[in-house]
Amino acid sequence: MTRPSRSAPRRPSPVPLLARLIIWGGGAAVLALWWRDTPSVVGAAGWLTGAGRITGLLAGYACAILLLLMARVPLLDRAIGTDRLARWHALGGRYTISLVCAHVLLIIWGYALESHTGPVNQTTTLVLHYPDLLKGTIGFLLFLVTAAVSARAVRRRIPYEIWHLLHFATYLAVFLAFGHQLSNGADFTGNPPARMVWYTLYIAVAALLAWYRFTVPVHRALRHRLYVTEVRPEAPGVVSVYLSGSRLAELRAEPGQFFRWRFLTRGLWWAANPYSLSAAPHPAYLRITVKASGGHSTALARLRPGTRVLAEGPYGAFTARHRRARKTLLLGGGVGITPLRTLFETLPGEVILVYRARRPEDLALRAELDGVAAARGAAVHYVVDEPAAWSSPLTAGALRDLVPDLAERDVYLCGPPGMAKAALRALRDAGVPRRRIHHESFAL
């Protein structure tokens, strides 16, 4: 068993604040560009066109930021966390789609007033007779498709693998919109320095994407040569997959982190799904534990030893480096126990684990958890919905009954969306500061 680390709690990283300041500073610079190039605004057409230019500039800048947030840059991933970056990306995506739609409507309306034509005729003229506007229109439609499949109601109904594949349409949409902006944007056509800055921004983001999302994973795949060694049942519908390879210590994975795994076998090779490590990283092997909840996860139970694996990562800030207090509560639900299992073994200080499941037989890795608890003198509480005698509501009062000093602890939370939402509310009601709640989402 891995011994708990002796590291002391760390101060919060300045990276999240600096990232926000840089993002908002860039947005202010975009507005300054419009202000500099606009000596005056006259009439309703001028105001509409000006607003269309502003929203177009901000949308173009936001596209670059959205891609940067998902470029998997190690500095951002370790300091901010993949889960938090994904939430920023999702929020920014909604703003970006709103800006793109506003840009299209305002430009058409403003140009229609200026040329004294109707919106339909003006749209036809813009699309067919302006350079790169047809490409821009295709990009706009692709943005709408991406927004539609990313809507929560739609995303729940399609497999993760299909959603992830459709999301790649964003890259084509951004590429088409980029060409349209430089060809048609009044702030770029006669302003070489602005064009150079825009090119620099997009080239830098493209380089980071190419390096961290393609070059680095390929290099690591060739260097580490991962393969499946064993598939072991853990609970109904839950299996552990053991993997081995070369130079695994060089991956520098930390307890609590995850990889995106691509199993090179029929039906699985085309999808890279995120699964957390369920055992502390070992120089000889890695382990993930997966619950059958879709086609990809169900198929993992049928993997054969020797199957080659490509792994992107490690990712995530759900690690010991972000704890703020000397005492910790680990709160898990269902297969969300997987990253918590590694933290339960390795986190320093006083640790309590609360593990919730539907039935006793659904408590995966229970024997291991009991062994860790005994070895380090830690407490573990199992809560199930059935039978009722073992059940407990997920409320502030119920959590304080199990952990009286709850408000003094860091909390690491991982579980299904419904459970996580209820737990976040209960923890805040119990007085746990938001900065000391570390949440790993299943919706990455």
The mean per-residue pLDDT over the stretch 338-342 comes to: 95
For residues 410-431, average pLDDT: 92
10: in domain: no
Task: Tell me if 170 sits within 8 A of 186, measured CB to CB.
Answer: no
pTM of the model: 0.82
Residue 294 is predicted with a pLDDT of 74
pLDDT at 329 over 90: yes
Residues 46 and 165 in one domain: yes
The CATH number assigned to the domain holding 189 equals 1.20.120
User: What's the Cα-to-Cα distance from 84 to each of 88, 99, 369, 440, rounded to whole Å?
Assistant: 6, 22, 28, 9
pLDDT band, residue 3 (cuts 50/70/90): low
pLDDT tens for 193-224 read 999 999 999 999 999 999 999 999 899 989 99
The rounded distance, in Å, linking the Cα atoms of 301 and 291 is: 9
* Residues 48 and 142 placed together within one structural domain of the fold: yes
DSSP 302: G
State mean pLDDT over 308-322. 91
Is residue 360 pLDDT above 80, yes or no?
yes
Q: Which residue has the higher pLDDT, 203 or 1?
A: 203
Angle at alpha carbon of residue 259, lines to 255 and 264, rounded to 5°: 140
Distances (CA, A) of 179 to 111, 138, 182, 193: 21, 12, 5, 17
Is the pLDDT assigned to residue 10 strictly greater than 70?
no
| One domain for residues 248 and 397 | no
Question: Are the C-beta atoms of 234 and 289 separated by less than 8 Å?
Answer: yes
- Do 422 and 297 lie in one domain? The reply is no
Total of domains in the chain: 3
Domain final residue, candidates 315, 348, 371: 315
In the sheet where 379-384 sits, what is the strand order?
A: 379-384, 350-357, 327-333, 410-414, 437-440
Could you tell me if 67 and 205 are in contact, meaning their C-beta atoms sit under 8 angstroms apart?
yes
> How far is residue 191's CA from residue 195's CA, in Å, rounded to a whole number?
6
The CATH number of whichever domain residue 267 belongs to comes to: 2.40.30.10
CB contact at 8 A, 322 and 255: no
Query: 294, 315, 336 — which closes off a domain?
Result: 315
pLDDT band at 112 (very low <50, low <70, confident <90, very high): very high
**What CA–CA distance (Å, rounded) separates 409 from 396?**
14
**Same domain flag for 76 and 207:** yes
Rounded mean pLDDT of 408-424?
Answer: 92
Total length of the chain: 444
Residue 371 resides in a domain: yes
Whether residues 305 and 329 share a domain: the answer is: no
| In a shared domain, residues 203 and 296 | no
Could you tell me whether strands 379-384 and 238-244 are parallel, antiparallel, or unpaired per DSSP bridges?
A: unpaired
What per-residue confidence (pLDDT) applies to 443?
Answer: 52
DSSP helix/strand/coil, 309? strand
Structural domain of residue 345, as residue ranges? 320-440
Max Cα distance, the chain (Å): 80
Residues 61 and 193 in one domain: yes
Average pLDDT over residues 289-311: 89
Taking 90 as the threshold, does the pLDDT of residue 38 lie above it?
A: no
Between the ranges 39-43, 81-85, 433-437, where is the mean pLDDT highest? 433-437
**CB contact set of 261 (below 8 Å; sequence gap of 6+):** 272, 273, 274, 275, 288, 309, 310, 311
Residue 297 pLDDT class (50, 70, 90 cuts): confident
| Pair (365, 426) in one structural domain | yes
Q: What is the pLDDT of residue 167?
A: 76
Are the C-beta atoms of 176 and 136 separated by less than 8 Å? yes
pLDDT in tens, 362-391: 899 999 999 999 999 999 999 998 887 777
The answer for 303, left when phi > 0, alpha when psi is -120 to 50, beta otherwise, is beta
**Exposed, middle or buried, 348 (CB in 10 Å: 0-12/13-18/19+)?**
middle
Tens digit of pLDDT for each residue in 72-107? 999 898 888 888 898 899 899 999 999 999 999 999
Query: Do residues 426 and 399 touch, judged by C-beta distance below 8 A?
Result: yes
- CATH label of the domain that carries residue 347: 3.40.50.80
Q: Kindly state whether residues 256 and 381 are assigned to the same domain.
A: no
Is 1 part of a structural domain of the chain? no
Q: Give the β-pairing of 238-244 and 258-263.
A: unpaired
Question: How far is Cα 10 from Cα 325, in angstroms, rounded to an integer?
Answer: 9
* CA distances, 70 to each of 87, 208, 322 (Å): 11, 10, 21
Same domain, 430 and 364: yes
Q: How would you list the strands of the sheet with 238-244, edge to edge?
A: 273-276, 258-263, 308-315, 226-235, 238-244, 286-291
To the nearest whole number, what is the mean pLDDT of the chain?
89
Query: What's the whole-number mean pLDDT along residues 402-408?
Result: 93
Judgement on whether residues 205 and 246 belong to the same structural domain of the protein: no
